[in-house]
Amino acid sequence: MNGNEVKISIGLEGIYIAETKVCKIDGIAGKLWYRGYPIESLAADSSFEEVAYLLLYGSLPKKTELDSFAEQLKKERDISDNIKMIIKSLAQKSHPMDVLRTAVSALSSEDPELTDNSPEANLRKAVRLTAKMTTIVAAIGRMRAGKDYIKPDNSLGHAENFMYMLSGSKPNKEVAKFIDLMLVLHAEHGTNASTFSTMVTGSTLADLYAAITSGICALKGPLHGGADEAALKMMRTIGDPANTEKYIEDALAGKQKIMGFGHRVYKTYDPRAKILRSWFTDIGSKSSGEVKTLTETALRAEKMMIERLGASHGIWPNIDFFSGPLYIWAGVPAELFTPIFAAARVTGWSAHMLEYWPNNKIFRPLDHYTGQLDLKYININDRK
Ligand SMILES: CC(C)(COP(=O)(O)OP(=O)(O)OC[C@H]1O[C@@H](n2cnc3c(N)ncnc32)[C@H](O)[C@@H]1OP(=O)(O)O)[C@@H](O)C(=O)NCCC(=O)NCCS
């Protein structure tokens, strides 16, 4: 690169923006660690509450620390009448992600520590957001279906209580474990688009609510978090599993992307998708009706995509491919998939902000201007 050449990285591909101890992804080996712990062991042995603590505080909690953290989350679960009213006014006409970003933005008006940017206050805000976002997502699900808000049940853990507030009844152990697993798998994933958006907003020294609202907005798109809902939509459009291969063939021929495949960092099987796949084959084999149809379609699509684009193009299933049919089995409607993702990722977004703020520097990249210069201004009446 000489003095006149500019090296542009479209989409910031390959650019490092910060040092971090929150998360490491090895996209070639297909490995993921939260604060040094392999995702496989957290998925098998941990819980969302423990992972949230790990991300926010930097180490695994002792028993007393976890109990006290879980209590703090419970204390912060309920939402005000004002937030409920906002959700109710939008739930039936807007997508849940749009309702979520509005409700989270509105939460800022109720936090007495909003403008206190000390690490301690930000940690407390992160805990409030983690507790309340799950409640908001459940409330959106209820009100979207024309049902009333259900108050949190503090005898229940985070994932169990979410399903209780959404459905009105306590989930069975398998469903509660699955929702907890989804929260663990979605809690953090490096400097992806939504985390970067969160950090860009936070780097201006806007408050944590503003930063998290930015993260939610970026997560919505089908190239990012919205891929889970889009992948299920595709499986439903395929309808009969026997149509899968033709659908994929036509889509690829038309240069369409197959949602739930491909990743900027993973050039092999996403380790989170691998974890979900074992649930997938198990639930698929003992289900009937739509879940059975969806799982069959998904497995045929997976086989064909891996044969066509796996090793040759590095396009493999990602976490958003297998989650849809499992959520349907658990009783979660499709439009809530991405909001649940956000309700988990708030912990990772917050952890990155807490890490970045002590040595904050505003994000301000450059763009390379290729237009004309010094054009002569012509009066509007004289323009041809
Ligand atoms: C995740 C994603 C945005 C990564 O994007 P990226 O690193 O910028 O890669 P690109 O979109 O430039 O893709 C590179 C090539 O692979 C192809 N490709 C990538 N993902 C594909 C998919 N899901 N289906 C078909 N082709 C795909 C692109 O068409 C492109 O082909 P080309 O070089 O012939 O033009 C992309 O893989 C994608 O859109 N996937 C579907 C959405 C999704 O599942 N997102 C959730 C990610 S966790």
Closest CA to ligand 1's atom 19: 262
Do 166 and 240 share a domain, yes or no? no
| Active-site choice (224, 250, 313, 368) | 224
Domain that holds residue 151: 23-225+336-359
Closest CA to ligand 1's atom 7: 264
Query: 258 in helix, strand or coil?
Result: coil
Q: Are 165 and 113 in contact (CB under 8 A)?
A: no
CA distance 309 to 49: 37
Do 192 and 252 share a domain, yes or no? no
The answer to whether residue 6 sits within a structural domain is: no
Question: Average pLDDT of the chain?
Answer: 96
Q: In sequence order, what E strands does the chain have?
A: 23-26, 31-34, 37-38
The answer to whether residue 381 sits within a structural domain is: no
Catalytic status, residue 368: no
Do 169 and 119 share a domain, yes or no? yes
Do 30 and 150 share a domain, yes or no? yes
Closest CA to ligand 1's atom 39: 223
Q: Is the pTM value of this prediction over 0.85?
A: yes
Q: What is the CATH number of the domain that holds 255?
A: 1.10.230.10
Tokens of 283: 């639930």
CB-based burial, 269-286: b 16+ in 10 Å, e otherwise: bbbbbbbbbebbeebbee
Give the Å distance between the CA of 362 and the centre of ligand 1: 29
Query: 32 in helix, strand or coil?
Result: strand
Q: What is the CATH number of the domain that holds 210?
A: 1.10.580.10
Catalytic status, residue 224: yes
Neighbours of 261 (CB within 10 A): 24
Closest CA to ligand 1's atom 29: 257
| Active-site choice (111, 263, 270, 352) | 263
Do 253 and 298 share a domain, yes or no? yes
Give the Å distance between the CA of 271 and the centre of ligand 1: 18
Instruction: Report the residue among 186, 233, 263 best suited for mutation to probe ligand 1: largest number of ligand atoms under 8 A from its CB.
Output: 263
Q: Are 189 and 43 in contact (CB under 8 A)?
A: no
> What are the tens digits of pLDDT across the range 50-64?
999 999 999 999 999
Do 326 and 180 share a domain, yes or no? no
Number of the ligand 1 atom closest to the C-alpha atom of 263: 1
pLDDT of residue 3: 53
The answer to whether residue 2 sits within a structural domain is: no
Number of the ligand 1 atom closest to the C-alpha atom of 270: 48
Closest CA to ligand 1's atom 5: 264
Residue whose C-alpha is closest to residue 136's, from 90, 177, 182, 169:
90
Q: How far is CA 37 from its chain centroid?
A: 20
pLDDT of residue 337: 98
The answer to whether residue 259 sits within a structural domain is: yes
Give the Å distance between the CA of 118 and the centre of ligand 1: 39
Q: Is the dihedral of CA 354, 319, 260, 266 positive or negative?
A: positive
The answer to whether residue 369 sits within a structural domain is: no
Do 74 and 123 share a domain, yes or no? yes
Taking the CA of residue 324 as centre, how many other CA atoms within 13 Å lie in the half-sphere pointing to its CB? 29
Closest CA to ligand 1's atom 10: 264
The answer to whether residue 66 sits within a structural domain is: yes
Give the Å distance between the CA of 121 and the centre of ligand 1: 39
Pocket of ligand 1 (CB under 6 A): 11, 223-224, 227, 257-264, 313, 315, 318, 320
Q: For the chain, how many structural domains are there in total?
A: 2
Catalytic status, residue 320: yes
pLDDT of residue 142: 98
Q: Residue 13: CB partners within 8 Å, gap ≥ 6?
A: 264
The answer to whether residue 379 sits within a structural domain is: no
Please report, for residues 179, 222, 327, 377, the alpha-carbon distance to residue 172 in angstroms, rounded to integers and kept in the order given. Answer: 11, 31, 14, 70
Do 279 and 208 share a domain, yes or no? no
The answer to whether residue 10 sits within a structural domain is: no
Do 161 and 43 share a domain, yes or no? yes
Do 27 and 121 share a domain, yes or no? yes
The 3 state secondary structure assigned to 72-126 is HHHHCCCCCHHHHHHHHHHHCCCCHHHHHHHHHHHHHHHCCCCCCCCHHHHHHHH
Q: Are 176 and 332 in contact (CB under 8 A)?
A: no
Give the Å distance between the CA of 257 and the centre of ligand 1: 6
| Active-site choice (111, 207, 270, 320) | 320
Please report, for residues 262, 304, 320, 324, 342, the alpha-carbon distance to residue 247 in angstroms, rounded to integers and kept in the order given. Answer: 18, 11, 19, 18, 30
Do 68 and 151 share a domain, yes or no? yes
Q: Is the dihedral of CA 133, 137, 139, 144 positive or negative?
A: positive
Do 200 and 251 share a domain, yes or no? no
Tell me the pLDDT of the chain (384 aa) as tens digits.
545 689 999 999 999 999 999 999 999 999 999 999 999 999 999 999 999 999 999 999 999 999 999 999 999 999 999 999 999 999 999 999 999 999 999 999 999 999 999 999 999 999 999 999 999 999 999 999 999 999 999 999 999 999 999 999 999 999 999 999 999 999 999 999 999 999 999 999 999 999 999 999 999 999 999 999 999 999 999 999 999 999 999 999 999 999 999 999 999 999 999 999 999 899 988 999 999 999 999 999 999 999 999 989 999 999 999 999 999 999 999 999 999 999 999 999 999 999 999 999 999 999 999 999 999 999 999 999
Give the Å distance between the CA of 262 and the centre of ligand 1: 5
